[in-house]
């Protein structure tokens, strides 16, 4: 087993990884920018190395500095967390070339799934259902119009290099398509340095349902059920739950088998998430994330597994010590992303947290790196914590979540807590009746009364 793991991340996920490593008796190294010298992940790790100034490009994305930190401290593996370098195949290659273990999938699979056009083509060949669309990059307006006529409007223009909902534009008719194409291209170019776009049929009222998979280096590929991440704002997840209120056991087993069969053929290694839109009882692949996800704790609470521990064991060459039939989805879990931003205008709210109290009690988990007196740096994302609640069933989970939200205190800054306190009163939420547009509709109604 590894003796020392370097955690190439910050915030709650750095703490999350630190916790798993500690429980396994593995020493940890934190890396940090000068803006994060006082951060909790730095305080709790065994060692820490400053890797650069505040901008992520010069610190958390600074590959030479991270590799040097590994060499200085003698770390034998790197866990990249999510975001930053976690889906950077070039980084995974370099880590390997330095004789360090990258705790994640094989670089070739990171590369394949990072190109959404190539990914869609590959998974389709492996038997996973995809959204109807242009199965390649769109070269011209004329070609786009031809495809759109075949699949029918509305259509969505999406960036091949996409992520975080950027480079995505909707067109309701041929008249709107050229503008959608050029807007998506320029947004994609600015965000990813790649202006390749493709076309997909726009599904009107789907849910976002994703399947968690886990694969070891001995050929075993299992699924850990689904997460429903339909509650989104600007294509960003806000509230996630497991299991999905829309799936039953046979539907879960069926899609789980399709996904695990496909990833077995691919020779996938590590944890990963296959994301689908679910519409009228049918699944349509949208993308695969080759990393641990922000919302992984809901899966942990319903399966009882520690996904980071499993990632570390898999990277070390150990075999998964359970079978598909051993995985039981028990009860219900919901995660709320607590962001440092206004709950309704979503204006960022960096600054000093004057007061901090995490809720507790049975079935309540708070993953956060915040503390009273902590100053949130303005350079990184706005996530300050995740409140994750488990109950015997969805009802108990909702009741407990409401109680835990009321107990959570974050003083001195604006947070998204009031949004969740309002969401949890809505009949649609209580009934589990929502699609990917529910939250935007709710927010619009709240603002305008319409
Ligand atoms: P990104 O990589 O930018 O996150 P995804 O392909 O994962 O992009 O899509 C993000 C979100 O955008 C989805 O969860 C869904 O809400 C919406 N979306 C994506 N593709 C479609 C589609 N074909 N029809 C309707 N909504 C879509």
**CA of residue 166 to ligand 1 center, whole Å:** 10
pLDDT digits (tens, 9 = 90+) for 139-153: 999 999 999 999 999
- Closest atom of ligand 1 to CA, residue 208: 14
Q: Which residues pair with 289 in a beta bridge?
A: 273
pLDDT digits (tens, 9 = 90+) for 4-36: 999 999 999 999 999 999 999 999 999 999 999
**CA of residue 46 to ligand 1 center, whole Å:** 39
Atom 22 of ligand 1: nearest residue by CA position: 202
- Closest atom of ligand 1 to CA, residue 165: 3
Active-site position among 16, 185, 207, 291: 291
Average pLDDT over residues 306-324: 98
Average pLDDT over residues 416-443: 98
Q: Three-state SS for 273?
A: strand
**CA of residue 184 to ligand 1 center, whole Å:** 13
Q: Which residues of 209-246 are buried (b: 16+ CB within 10 A; e: fewer)?
A: bbbbbbbbbeebbbbbbbbbbbbbbeeebbbbbbbbeb
Surface-to-core class of residue 166, CB atoms within 10 Å of its CB (0-12 exposed, 13-18 middle, 19+ buried): middle
34 secondary structure, DSSP code: G
Where does the pLDDT of residue 164 fall: very low under 50, low under 70, confident under 90, or very high at 90 and above? confident
Distance CA 297, CA 383 (A): 15
Angle at 430 between CA 429 and CA 433, to 5 degrees: 50
pLDDT at 441: 97
**CA of residue 3 to ligand 1 center, whole Å:** 40
- Return the best residue to mutate from 286, 290, 437, 438 for the ligand 1 pocket (most ligand atoms within 8 A of CB): 286
400 is catalytic: no
- pLDDT value at 199 more than 90: yes
Higher pLDDT: 235 or 284? It is: 284
pLDDT digits (tens, 9 = 90+) for 211-236: 999 999 999 999 999 999 999 998 89
- Closest atom of ligand 1 to CA, residue 133: 23
pLDDT digits (tens, 9 = 90+) for 59-105: 999 999 999 999 999 999 999 999 999 999 999 999 999 999 999 99
Atom 21 of ligand 1: nearest residue by CA position: 202
- pLDDT value at 450 more than 80: no
pLDDT digits (tens, 9 = 90+) for 338-386: 999 999 999 999 999 999 999 999 999 999 999 999 999 999 999 999 9
> The whole model's pTM is what?
0.96
Distance CA 60, CA 205 (A): 37
- Tokens, residue 179: 């503008």
Distance CA 6, CA 31 (A): 8
- pLDDT value at 449 more than 90: no
pLDDT at 201: 95
Could you count the other beta carbons within 10 Å of the beta carbon of residue 48? 21
Distance CA 27, CA 47 (A): 8
* Residue 114, C-beta contacts closer than 8 angstroms, at least 6 positions apart: 87, 89, 161, 290
- Closest atom of ligand 1 to CA, residue 202: 24
pLDDT at 165: 82
- Closest atom of ligand 1 to CA, residue 235: 11
Q: Which residue has the tokens 């886990």?
A: 214
pLDDT digits (tens, 9 = 90+) for 248-271: 999 999 999 999 999 999 999 999
Distance CA 306, CA 311 (A): 9
**CA of residue 292 to ligand 1 center, whole Å:** 19
Distance CA 250, CA 447 (A): 40
Average pLDDT over residues 37-60: 98
Give residue ranges with CB within 6 A of ligand 1. Answer: 131, 156, 162-166, 200-203, 208, 232, 235, 275, 277, 286-287, 436
- Return the best residue to mutate from 113, 161, 235 for the ligand 1 pocket (most ligand atoms within 8 A of CB): 235
Where does the pLDDT of residue 162 fall: very low under 50, low under 70, confident under 90, or very high at 90 and above? confident
Strand ranges (DSSP E) for 16-126?
27-33, 47-52, 77-79, 101-102
pLDDT at 135: 82
Q: Which residue has the tokens 């004329």?
A: 142
pLDDT at 195: 93
- Closest atom of ligand 1 to CA, residue 229: 14
Domains within the chain, CATH numbers bracketed: 4-87 (3.40.50.20), 132-201 (3.30.1490.20), 207-448 (3.30.470.20)
Average pLDDT over residues 290-302: 98
- pLDDT value at 123 more than 90: yes
**CA of residue 1 to ligand 1 center, whole Å:** 39
* Residue 362, C-beta contacts closer than 8 angstroms, at least 6 positions apart: 400
- pLDDT value at 194 more than 90: yes
- pLDDT value at 166 more than 90: no
- Return the best residue to mutate from 168, 240, 434, 438 for the ligand 1 pocket (most ligand atoms within 8 A of CB): 168
- pLDDT value at 163 more than 90: no
Mean pLDDT score of the chain: 97
**CA of residue 235 to ligand 1 center, whole Å:** 7
């Amino acid at each position: 087993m590894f003796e020392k793991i370097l955690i190439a991340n910050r915030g709650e996920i750095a703490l999350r990884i630190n916790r798993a490593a500690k429980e396994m008796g593995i020493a940890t190294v934190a890396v940090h920018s000068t803006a994060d010298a006082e951060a909790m992940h730095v305080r709790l790790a065994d060692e820490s190395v400053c890797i650069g100034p505040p901008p992520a490009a010069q610190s958390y994305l600074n590959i030479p500095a991270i590799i040097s930190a590994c060499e200085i401290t003698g770390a034998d593996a790197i866990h990249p967390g999510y975001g930053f370098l976690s889906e950077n195949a070039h980084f995974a290659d370099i880590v390997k070339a330095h004789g360090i273990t990258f705790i994640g999938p094989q670089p070739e699979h990171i590369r394949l799934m990072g190109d959404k056009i190539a990914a869609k083509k590959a998974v389709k060949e492996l038997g996973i259902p995809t959204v109807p669309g242009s199965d390649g990059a769109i070269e011209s307006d004329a070609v786009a119009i031809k495809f759109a006529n075949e699949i029918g409007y509305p259509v969505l223009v999406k960036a091949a290099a996409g992520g975080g909902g950027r480079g995505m534009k909707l067109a309701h008719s041929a008249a709107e398509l050229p503008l959608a194409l050029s807007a998506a291209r320029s947004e994609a170019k600015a965000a990813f340095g790649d202006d390749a776009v493709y076309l997909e049929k726009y599904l009107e009222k789907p849910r976002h349902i994703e399947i968690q998979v886990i694969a070891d280096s001995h050929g075993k590929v299992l699924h850990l059920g689904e997460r429903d991440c339909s509650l989104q704002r600007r294509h960003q997840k806000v509230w996630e739950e497991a299991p999905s209120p829309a799936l039953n056991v046979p539907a879960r087993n069926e899609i789980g088998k399709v996904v695990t069969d496909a990833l077995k053929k691919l020779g996938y290694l590590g944890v990963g998430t296959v994301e689908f839109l679910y519409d009228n009882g049918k699944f349509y692949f949208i993308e695969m994330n080759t990393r641990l996800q922000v919302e992984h704790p809901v899966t942990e609470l319903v399966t009882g597994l520690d996904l980071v521990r499993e990632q570390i064991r898999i990277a070390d060459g150990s075999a998964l010590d359970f079978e598909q039939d051993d995985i039981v989805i028990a009860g219900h879990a919901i995660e709320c992303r607590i962001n440092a931003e206004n709950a309704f205008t979503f204006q960022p709210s960096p600054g000093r947290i004057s007061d901090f109290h995490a809720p507790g009690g049975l079935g309540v988990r708070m993953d956060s790196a915040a503390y009273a007196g902590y100053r949130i740096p303005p350079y990184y994302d706005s996530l300050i914590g995740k409140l994750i609640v488990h109950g015997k069933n969805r009802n108990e989970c909702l009741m407990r979540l409401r109680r835990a939200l009321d107990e959570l205190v974050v003083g001195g800054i604006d947070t998204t807590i009031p949004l969740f306190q309002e969401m949890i009163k809505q009949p649609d939420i209580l009934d589990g009746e929502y699609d990917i547009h529910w939250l935007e509709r709710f927010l619009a109604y709240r603002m305008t009364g319409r």
